[in-house]
Structure 1
Amino acid sequence: MSNRVYIFDTTLRDGEQSPGATMNTREKVRLARQLERLGVDIIEAGFPAASQGDFDSVSEIAASVKNAEVAGLCRSVKKDIDAAWGAIKEAAKPRIHTFIATSDIHMKYKLGKSRDQVLEMTRDAVAYAAGLCPNVEFSAEDASRSEPQFLAKVVEAAIAAGAKTINIPDTVGYAQPYEYGELIRFLLDNVENSHKAIFSVHCHNDLGLGVANTLAAIKAGARQAEVTLSGIGERAGNAALEEVVMALNVRADYYGLETGIDTAQIYPSCRLLSMIIGQPIPPYKAITGANAFAHESGIHQDGMLKNRQTYEIMTPDSIGKSSSDIVIGKHSGRHALKSKLDELGYRLTEEQLSQVFQAVKNLADKKKQVFIEDVEAVVLEEVYRIPDKFKLIYLSSMSGNMAIPTAALKMEVMGEEKQLSDFGVGPIDAVFNTIDHLVERSPKLMRYSVNAITGGADAQGEVTVKLEENSMTSVGRASDPDIIVASAKAYINALNRLAKKESDLEEGRADGSGDHAP
């Protein structure tokens, strides 16, 4: 059995189904390039049959990625398979990933199909997909709750029909590590043609066992792990890429396995995702959290001073987490900025570079020091945002314990300039009230959070807001040294995303994302 574990990243598909993690096409392409830089073997780019928007983003990713395989997910029906192939066929290394449910509860209540029908659909779908693309992966959705003997029949049929990879997902995070490892062993031992395919696992984290189950399955013989950055995904999320990879890396003595991951790119990748979706990495998050390498206890500090290995089983440098370096200032030139952006993996046009250069210059006039994180925040805000229907032109606010909080704004609304002032219980409330009146909308504010991008009193504030209106939600984010301005920009960004969702619905682009996961 090979000692190589293949890393299948589904951040752009399953991860994006996580509430508040929606990304636009340019953001997806940027993250896909970083995943390639990280060294993942397969990037699951999306569900092309879900909408024209999904199809287009998968196609762009397929055209942008050169070294990693690009997979498109599809149900085991011809039209979905055709859509997946249409989106990925120009990829250097395309993969069709088709799935069907195999548990009794899913077959009865979701599919309305018998076991024989599901077995036949598996054969037909995999054979059809293999006729289009030689690299086919088959997933038995809800495999961990499927009857083992029937699951073995389905897997055998899928391999016989041309599947090169077999995924055994723990779709609802139900399995326990020992039990899940035993299921993988059972299939490897009892599926007659199991030697002709790589066995994969896709574990959800509903009981907090996603990583434990993934590692148990790998120990039992699975050789592909389906993971996401920071463990984002449906419900409680997925097995986290960084945790699985570093467990295999740190405990190479136990597993005796290797991956193709450049571990020094782990933290930059997770940080990029955090900035794109506007959700900070929790401080206690394993591997990448702010506290992962912090030591406050006197006993721990004493041990660290004598030998770091007393309380650290890996180093910050090993995951690419080091102190932020000053990379640009108001006296720096375009070439220095372009060089740093190239180093970070951004590929900007001359027009985009000029746009970012001016924004960084403006920021450098406000801040003493400009850090890597500041530059990335500028790029994401200036280059990767969706087209604006609503745009902030001017903002002034007044507040204090002897004043009524007031905000005055000038905005561009659907191409027309408007200005207004309004009140609130605080400066942020006044700003949001004024924006609502200017755009003539009344969304409900579901979440508001502020996070400092870097240290220091002059740090940029990164604001995230979540809005709900007409049963639709959107998340907006923005950064600025002025928290009031950042809040306004984030709120407007969320409104633009709501407007984009409405536009997509009007064009018949309902995403149907609730039923897209193995």
Structure 2
Amino acid sequence: MKNVNKYTRQYSVPPESSWNWVQKEYIDKAPIWCSVDLRDGNQALVVPMNLEEKLEYFQLLVDIGFKEIEVGFPAASDTEFVFLRTLIERDLIPDDVTIQVLTQSREHIIRRTFEALTGAKRAIVHLYNSTSIAQREQVFRKPKSEIVEIAVSGAELCQQLAAETPGHFLFQYSPESFTGTEVEFALDVCNAVLDVWRPTAERPVIINLPSTVQLSLPHVYASQIEYMSAHLRDRQHVIVSVHPHNDRGTGVAEAELAMLAGADRVEGTLFGNGERTGNVDIVTLALNMFSHGVDPGLHFESLPEIQSVVERLTKMQVGKRHPYAGELVFTAFSGSHQDAIAKGMKWREEEEREYWTVPYLPIDPKDIGREYEGDIIRINSQSGKGGIGYLLEQKYGFDLPPRMREDLGYTVKGVSDRLQKELSVDEIADIFTEQFVNLAEPIAFSDVKADEGPGHPTTLTIHTNGQTRTIRGSGNGRLDAVSNALQASLGLQYTNLTYKEHALEVGSGSRAVAYISIEDPEGTTHWGCGIDTDIMNASIKALFSAVNRMVVAMPTFVLQH
């Protein structure tokens, strides 16, 4: 691409090796979660939420299980101020939930923030100022010493006002634009703030290290976090927090590697809403842990309902391929994928399995409120016999023989290809019924009578070409006798190959279903299905269906009369 030379790497790496996180294989416990949906998420909306929408969103976050929720920047606008006051005055904040408010390190903003907090039982005051090279040089035009003084003076004022204001206040400091700051300087600023706040076991301090703009690969961010974690003063009383954005599309990776590197806390939003490409997606992070058998401490068992509320309140849509939540993320259209999933689900049904290991499905969709039908296997022209057979079995109870599934699969894919559309399971069932079940053209039977005696003598009443006929046959069983009668009386030639029957259990009362295949003289196999309350009649109807499919497929064949 043109102009590539105008870009360069804008991040720094720690001055010492910080790679211990690489040796860890997985995240073994959930972090402290802090939702910033009502601040970062809300300010990124085309149409920000109104008061009532914010209140509903706050309750949603509480229901999900968030214990720390950033509710806004109360000094930034009257809307933000009123929202915080409403939460406090209506007593809407549960005792086990700590609200968080954001403030720049500027005196009038800090004072206004504490004014808004009057009456709050417990809150985190989140102080920040920007520290990056670009901000220092281009925005503030101040040396490092003055940037440190901005942070320290703000920390001192917060401490003073917290002592004067009723309530329990915790402090959080962010060197905003941390990823564009020299790591050693970021450490100096954070330690200077810690020198003011003096964290203790009873009153820990949060040091939040935001990936305000993603500038590096995720492993560099992890090394920066590890270095900071190892050198912050009073580390045992410091909660290291991360706030990854998603400019490079690696917000989730940054957060996960940062947790391996020592981060205790993660700030993010539901489904990753936020400025530019968004904040880190807490839904994805939490369910990634869930897929490894680690309880994330948040409730996403009804994810579709949560998603519906978020989309309604934010007017933002979750993408169809969004991890876990997207409409299509558990869906297989590919025939081989469908077959593997169907066999994996069948394998689980055969006996109780301790762990979920179904191919292509990292978690059981039902665990987050998704349904198998319409979610896992969907049918289009790329689909295969396994998925089609699985859907018919799950909803309608048909357990087709493997080769019949293949025959039906080609039929269904042909319809999908011709119509250029995805087919629902009901449409598939209609195709199956129309093409294979109880077919009565050009030959139908209305009555069968089994006589006593050797050879199972059988008499059938059939209808063909507008005529009613009575035909007779015998054989080594009742179905064989019917087949022999058809061949002898109508001039048909075929060989019976496959027979299968079972009770049609799904929504069918006492009906039985039978499947039969026959092979014509050219070696082509034709399948038929019969359904009836009597298993023998179901078998005869299956045979007639197969014969009718064969006759229709042989246009030059003429039935004998």
Residue among 109, 119, 130 paired with 1:101 = 130
The amino acid of 2:249's aligned partner reads G
Residue 243 of structure 2: aligned partner: 202
Residue 287 of structure 2: aligned partner: 246
Q: Say whether 1:158 aligns with 2:193.
A: yes
1:54-85 per-position Cα deviation (integer Å, ceiling 9, x unaligned): 11012223442213211111101122222222
User: How do residues 144-293 of structure 1 correspond to structure 2 at under 5 angstroms?
Assistant: 144-162=179-197, 164-252=205-293, 258-293=295-330
Task: Check 1:15–1:97 CA distance in 2 against 1; reply closer, same or farther (3 A cut).
Answer: same
- Contact 2:33 2:267 survives alignment (8 Å): yes
User: Greater RCO between the two (CA within 8 Å, min separation 6)?
Assistant: 1
Larger radius of gyration: 2
Q: Say whether 1:310 aligns with 2:310.
A: no
With structure 1 as the length reference, what TM-score do the two structures score?
Answer: 0.59
Residue 86 of structure 1: aligned partner: 115
Task: Check 1:117–1:323 CA distance in 2 against 1; reply closer, same or farther (3 A cut).
Answer: same
Task: Check 1:210–1:129 CA distance in 2 against 1; reply closer, same or farther (3 A cut).
Answer: same
What is the alpha-carbon distance in structure 2 between the residues aligned to residue 235 and residue 59 of structure 1?
29
The amino acid of 1:247's aligned partner reads N
1:361-381 per-position Cα deviation (integer Å, ceiling 9, x unaligned): xxxxxxxxxxxxxxxxxxxxx
Task: Check 1:120–1:247 CA distance in 2 against 1; reply closer, same or farther (3 A cut).
Answer: same
What is the alpha-carbon distance in structure 1 between the residues aligned to residue 242 and residue 153 of structure 2?
23
1:443-489 per-position Cα deviation (integer Å, ceiling 9, x unaligned): xxxxxxxxxxxxx9xxxxxxxxxxxxxxxxxxxxxxxxxxxxxxxxx
- Contact 2:287 2:296 survives alignment (8 Å): no
1:12-38 per-position Cα deviation (integer Å, ceiling 9, x unaligned): 100112141510010001000010110
What is the alpha-carbon distance in structure 2 between the residues aligned to residue 316 and residue 89 of structure 1?
44
Residue 46 of structure 1: aligned partner: 72
Question: Aligned to 2:301, what secondary structure does the other structure show?
Answer: helix
- Contact 2:365 2:372 survives alignment (8 Å): no
The amino acid of 2:71's aligned partner reads A
What is the alpha-carbon distance in structure 1 between the residues aligned to residue 44 and residue 246 of structure 2?
13
Deviation of residue 4 (structure 1)? 4.4
1:272-291 per-position Cα deviation (integer Å, ceiling 9, x unaligned): 11011222221111110101
Residue 519 of structure 2: aligned partner: none
What is the alpha-carbon distance in structure 1 between the residues aligned to residue 221 and residue 156 of structure 2?
28
The amino acid of 1:20's aligned partner reads V
What is the alpha-carbon distance in structure 2 between the residues aligned to residue 18 and residue 266 of structure 1?
22
Residue among 147, 150, 169 paired with 1:134 = 169
Residue among 5, 15, 18 paired with 2:44 = 18
1:133-167 per-position Cα deviation (integer Å, ceiling 9, x unaligned): 53111111010111111111111122222261011
Deviation of residue 266 (structure 1)? 4.0
Task: Check 1:92–1:315 CA distance in 2 against 1; reply closer, same or farther (3 A cut).
Answer: farther
Give the total of aligned pairs: 321
User: How do residues 262-411 of structure 1 correspond to structure 2 at under 5 angstroms?
Assistant: 262-308=299-345, 309-322=358-371
- Contact 1:49 1:55 survives alignment (8 Å): yes
Q: Say whether 1:57 aligns with 2:83.
A: yes
Residue 75 of structure 1: aligned partner: 104
What is the alpha-carbon distance in structure 1 between the residues aligned to residue 295 and residue 196 of structure 2?
30
Q: Which structure 2 segments of 5+ residues have no match?
A: 1-26, 163-167, 200-204, 346-357, 374-425, 427-561
Task: Check 1:3–1:323 CA distance in 2 against 1; reply closer, same or farther (3 A cut).
Answer: closer
- Contact 1:229 1:269 survives alignment (8 Å): no
Question: Aligned to 1:16, what secondary structure does the other structure show?
Answer: helix
Residue among 136, 147, 150 paired with 1:121 = 150
1:72-111 per-position Cα deviation (integer Å, ceiling 9, x unaligned): 1110112222222233343343111110111121122222
- Contact 2:194 2:233 survives alignment (8 Å): no
- Contact 1:103 1:141 survives alignment (8 Å): yes
- Contact 1:166 1:198 survives alignment (8 Å): yes
What is the alpha-carbon distance in structure 1 between the residues aligned to residue 272 and residue 322 of structure 2?
10
- Contact 2:366 2:372 survives alignment (8 Å): no
The amino acid of 2:281's aligned partner reads A
Task: Check 1:6–1:89 CA distance in 2 against 1; reply closer, same or farther (3 A cut).
Answer: farther
Deviation of residue 195 (structure 1)? 2.4
Residue 516 of structure 1: aligned partner: none
What is the alpha-carbon distance in structure 2 between the residues aligned to residue 22 and residue 53 of structure 1?
10
Deviation of residue 2 (structure 1)? 9.7
What is the alpha-carbon distance in structure 1 between the residues aligned to residue 121 and residue 306 of structure 2?
22
The amino acid of 2:305's aligned partner reads P
Q: Which structure 1 segments of 5+ residues have no match?
A: 325-455, 457-518
What is the alpha-carbon distance in structure 2 between the residues aligned to residue 105 and residue 312 of structure 1?
44
The amino acid of 1:292's aligned partner reads V
* Percent of aligned pairs sharing the same letter: 25
- Contact 1:6 1:225 survives alignment (8 Å): yes
The amino acid of 2:59's aligned partner reads R
Deviation of residue 258 (structure 1)? 4.9
